[in-house]
Amino acid sequence: MWDDATAMGRLTRWLMVLMVLLLIGTGVAWVYNSDHFPVKQVAIQGKLKYSDGKELQNIAQQYMRGNIFRADVHGAGEAFQKLAWTDSVLVRRRLPDTVEIILEERIPLARWQSGGLLDTKGNVFQAEVEENLPLFSGEPNTGKDMVRHYREFADILDSLGLTINKLIYTPRSAWQVVLDNGITVRLGRENETQRLRHFAEAWPALLEKQRDSLLYVDMRYKDGFSVRHKPTSDRPSE
């Protein structure tokens, strides 16, 4: 074999490749374990309104130890995702010395009657806010459908100067809207959006002048609606 120039050339090339790989591995290990390339900046980005800034910093400090190559971006991402207000998170290295944390918060849309809040994507989460939010009452896993209906209903009522105080989706799949003036609008299990449009059409001419005495308006009729008035003792005095 030592007299075989082809075999010797092949062996030499393999040895050179092995040497290069060893040098690369040694260099990577040195960079990874050295005190050089420290994390000098942790940049938390996003339109953050509800998140606890101190809590975010504590998590960042816990996972961003050592140099930038040892920073545990995966562990940090999982820790941030567990926070109540986090909708999505991206943690990434920016060489030579920066870790970026891009957070997107949940946007609260309503309070969930059985506890917690409902975000704009229909997800229930456990948090508290001081804002005046409508109350949603529905079955488990109906949040997305309720968000869609809320937006449709709110668009119809907005031109009348009416807002939704409570949205109800019953176990029998019937819809009810409680307005900010205390009047309940019963919409039933089908054609609920069209029925609310009929209510909106009737409100200025027929119903608004009775607003202080109305208890509910039942729109579940094919060609009209019915109303129920509050007991006289419950009506505001003139």
Q: Which residue is listed with tokens 């986090």?
A: 86
Share of residues in the chain with pLDDT > 90 (%): 70
Say how far apart CA 224 and CA 202 lie, in whole Å. 10
193 pLDDT exceeds 60? yes
For residue 115, give both structure tokens: 């506890």
**Of how many residues is the chain composed?**
238
Strands (E), 152-213: 164-169, 175-179, 184-188
Helix residue spans in the chain (DSSP H) = 5-33, 53-63, 73-81, 143-158, 192-202
Residue 73, SS3 per DSSP: helix
Place of tokens 């790989």: 21
Q: How big is the CA angle at 54 (ends 50 and 56), to the nearest 5 degrees?
A: 70
Sign of torsion over alpha carbons 201, 206, 212, 215: negative
Cβ pair 121, 109 in contact under 8 A:
no
**What pLDDT, in 10s, does the model give residues 36-79?**
668 788 899 999 999 999 999 999 989 887 788 888 899 999 99
Tokens of 7: 């075999």
Q: What is the pTM of this model?
A: 0.80
pLDDT attached to residue 25: 46
- Average confidence (pLDDT) over 82-90: 97
- Listed by start position, the domains of the chain span 41-105, 108-229
Q: Give 210's contacts (C-beta < 8 A, 6+ positions apart).
A: 227, 229
Beta bridge partners of 229: 214
> What CATH architecture applies to the domain 41-105?
Roll (3.10)
CATH number of this structure's domain 108-229: 3.40.50.11690
Residue 55 token pair: 């809590």
The model's pLDDT over 91-126, given as tens digits with 9 standing for 90+, comes to: 998 888 899 999 999 999 999 999 999 999 999 999
Query: Within 13 A of 206's CA, how many CA atoms are on the CB side?
Result: 10
User: Helical H runs in 70-166?
Assistant: 73-81, 143-158
